[in-house]
A and B are shown apart, each in its own frame.
Chain A
Amino acid sequence: MVQPEERMDDEAGTSNPIAEAILRWQRGIEREESFRRIVETFYPLLHRFFLRCGCGGEEARDLTQETFIRVYKGLGRFRREARFETWLFQIATNLYRNALRHKETRKRAPELPATSLPEPPAEAPELADPAAEAPLDRVLAKERQHRLRQAIAQLPPQMRTTLALRIDQELSYREIAAVMKLSVETVKAHLLQARRRLRQTLAPSGQGPLEDPSDETP
């Protein structure tokens, strides 16, 4: 087991091999060997981090290597009183976000020139799809969604975030609990309460709330 959780507050670096490696690198002593030690220690940890961020194997490997290249370029300016792991996380976070942004850009970019694509119908979807719902139904659906949005906005912040993490991001109860710093039971209670309130909002006037399932499936 590798334990990278060691503080870098020992200037001499005698008790912390990473601190010692950084110190030696910054002083120009056996730099290649010192940096190899840093990479060997943190490579699997960073690789796992990127995998857990949702990267594929190849992408995780590339981002891991890129992180170390950034570390190499900035190690001369690294202040040893700071925590190396924190700095490493900052670099990895920036690289991950850059990669996401790059992917989003590629996703938005058209595969073919726009002129080669047929223009979609701008209005009157009922003409394009005869089976589409009637205008009255569409108005009612819009009204229903408007009421739902208002009801979601009126939920307590923690409950609203829990709901979004569950339904929009499809996290498990355990993940929501970790993100929100709550117990799994509290997460379940929040979701139950949120759904109950939203059902009441959507229930037609004069009727009771929609059927309320008593349990959640993780």
Chain B
Amino acid sequence: MSTTEQNEHQLDAEIRAALSGRGNIDDAHPAADTLLGYHHGTLPAAEEEALQTHLAGCPACVRLLLALDSFSAPVTVEEVAAAGTREGVEATLARLPRETTPATAAPPFSRSRATPYLPLAAALLLAALGLSFFLFHLWQRDAAELSQLRDQYATLETRLADRSQPRTDLPIVDLFPTGFSRQVRLDRPRVDVPAAADAVMLILAPSAPVPGTLLRLRLLDGAGEERWTGMATPNEAGSLTVLLPRGTLTSGPYELQLEAPDPTVASDRFPFELDFHSEP
């Protein structure tokens, strides 16, 4: 070895020793993206300089950077063979985690794998049976309640329809005999009323009818007790129609009194008798 070469080696050895005392920078590796950016020349100048400083002391990153070229270089057929690609691919596929293996690639059902699931299947079957019984019970109870509700609804519907229809069978107490002049009053007419009647209609005519005048009506029973009061207006013909609610009316004598607003006008009195009876 010549003196020049000896000097060269001595200097390099000293430089190597000086460089080796720079400390460990292994914990500050640049990210893979930074290496890629440097490789593609897209890093800002400051980052590029910082990375070069890191590379001076990091053989690992230098190797990564040098190997990065291989990512963009085509692979030759020889390299494919040298890498043991065929065996490597099979070995890789065999190492894939089983739990993330898609369902389509799952192994066929076998007895050894089925055994652990038998208790689970039995438990599921029992649970399904229990649930079925419970649902059946619920269904039965609901059906009974539904039937009851339907009956109640039908009853209500019937009653509603009944009340909604015009009452053609309403008992009418005409205090004047048919065909007679309205000026002639019957003396305490007696009217048969079905016990189930909801109301009694009275037809009467005031002595001095003033069409359009509001009259006060009072119904007194045989003992003189007031049983009902109301207001009514005679029509143009001078007659008056009063609908008496059945309420607590019972069989017996009654008197309907008409009082005009004018106190000088005497009250009209219309006695009559009601006889409630059960229908045959």
Contacts and interface: CB of A to CB of B under 8 A. Distances in A.
Given A43-B92, A165-B62, A69 B97 contact: yes
B53 interface: yes
Given A44-B75, A52-B67, A104-B26, A94 B32 contact: yes
B29 A1 contact: no
Contacts, number: 172
B: contact size bracket: 35 or more
Contacts of A69: 92, 95-97
A208 to B, nearest CB: 13
Interface stretch (B98-106, B164-172, B242-250): B98-106
Contacts of A48: 70, 75, 79, 83
Nearest to B19: A168
A161 B56 contact: yes
A178 B15 contact: no
Given A53-B64, A179-B65, A32 B102 contact: yes
B63 A64 contact: no
B35 interface: yes
Interface in B1-40: 3-5, 7-8, 11-12, 14-21, 26, 29, 32-33, 35-36
Contacts of B85: 40, 43-44, 47
Nearest to B50: A157
Q: Is the interface of A mostly helix, strand, loop or mixed?
A: helix
B83 A44 contact: yes
A49 B95 contact: no
A22 to B, nearest CB: 14
Interface stretch (A85-93, A113-121, A131-139): A85-93
A188 to B, nearest CB: 14
A169 B14 contact: no
B27 to A, nearest CB: 10
A3 interface: yes
Interface in A150-206: 152, 157-158, 160-161, 163-165, 167-169, 171, 175, 178-181, 195, 198-199, 202
28 contacts: A1-B75, A1-B76, A2-B74, A5-B74, A43-B89, A43-B92, A44-B80, A44-B85, A47-B83, A47-B88, A48-B75, A48-B83, A65-B91, A72-B97, A73-B97, A88-B71, A93-B32, A148-B18, A149-B21, A167-B19, A168-B16, A168-B19, A168-B57, A179-B65, A181-B41, A202-B11, A211-B4, A213-B4
Interface of B: 3-5, 7-8, 11-12, 14-21, 26, 29, 32-33, 35-36, 41, 49, 52-53, 55-57, 59-60, 62-72, 74-77, 79-80, 83-85, 88-89, 91-93, 95-97, 100, 102, 104-105
Interface of A: 1-5, 28, 30-32, 35-36, 39-40, 43-45, 47-50, 52-54, 61, 64-65, 68-69, 72-73, 85-86, 88-90, 93-94, 96-97, 100-101, 104, 144-145, 148-149, 152, 157-158, 160-161, 163-165, 167-169, 171, 175, 178-181, 195, 198-199, 202, 210-211, 213
